[in-house]
Chains A and B, each alone.
Chain A
């Protein structure tokens, strides 16, 4: 069984600052993938970044980077230079071997203030 834990129900950050959203996971699969999705108020889920369990380097996509610490089973999302449009729910998710399903955490609401 896979489990994703996001311990921060809400986070506040000022525009242009960096913010870290926490995610820890648990799985018995030797190979897995970790994902972050953004859900703005419109409701659509937007893929942000992916990290494979065997990837040697932390994933980066523009202002998003994933701080992957395999031994700690954590996959925190770092957003640099926050923008007002970053205000949204952020979900961490995991796919095990076969990638047949994604297991999602409960999400973190990020609010960016001017």
Chain B
């Protein structure tokens, strides 16, 4: 597709289960970002990829969070042993290169942990 695609759009899970969120960036975009947006809050930076490497993982809240990117394209954000405070919208964005700063966002994956 033309834009950033994220799946699932909605995920409800039980506390303690693992979840995987997927992001398919715009074709040709080398930079990929994950952000988290809790209800009524701004965007919290999680991780940034340039190609397949992640030079900045500083935003990952705990070791239960991990992310990978393969083939310079699709990225997966994994949350292990989910907690209720993980409930949020997880937004993925991509940009053509890291120096433009203009990010194109997907519509997000809404995670609800019961």
Count CB-based A-B contacts (< 8 Å): 58
Partner-binding segment picked from A13-21, A68-76, A79-87, A97-105: A97-105
CA distance A40 to B46 in the complex (A): 22
Against A, the Cβ 8 Å flags (1 = close, 0 = not) of B17-53 are 0000000000000000101000001110100101000
Interface size class of chain B, counting residues whose CB lies under 8 Å from the partner chain: 20 to 34
CA distance A33 to B99 in the complex (A): 10
Instruction: Decide yes or no: A50 and B33 within 8 Å by CB, A101-B56, A104-B42 being known contacts.
Output: no
- What residues on A are CB-neighbors of B42 within 8 Å? 91, 104-107
Interface size class of chain A, counting residues whose CB lies under 8 Å from the partner chain: 20 to 34
**Which B residues contact A (CB, under 8 angstroms)?**
33, 35, 41-43, 45, 48, 50, 55-56, 59, 89, 91, 93, 98-108
- Select B43's contact among A44, A95, A104, beta carbons within 8 Å: A104
Q: Is the CB of A35 within 8 A of B43?
A: no
Q: Is the CB of B101 within 8 A of A44?
A: no
Q: Is the CB of A42 within 8 A of B101?
A: no
The 6 closest A-B pairs by CB, nearest first: A45-B105, A104-B43, A106-B42, A104-B42, A95-B101, A99-B101
CA distance A106 to B101 in the complex (A): 19
Q: Is the CB of B107 within 8 A of A50?
A: no
* Nearest chain A residue, comparing its CB with the CB of B105: A45
* Nearest chain B residue, comparing its CB with the CB of A107: B42
30 contacts between A and B (CB under 8 A): A33-B101, A35-B102, A37-B105, A43-B108, A44-B106, A44-B107, A45-B43, A45-B91, A45-B93, A47-B103, A47-B104, A50-B101, A91-B42, A93-B43, A95-B101, A98-B99, A99-B98, A99-B99, A100-B48, A100-B55, A101-B45, A101-B59, A102-B33, A102-B45, A102-B103, A104-B42, A104-B43, A106-B41, A106-B42, A107-B42
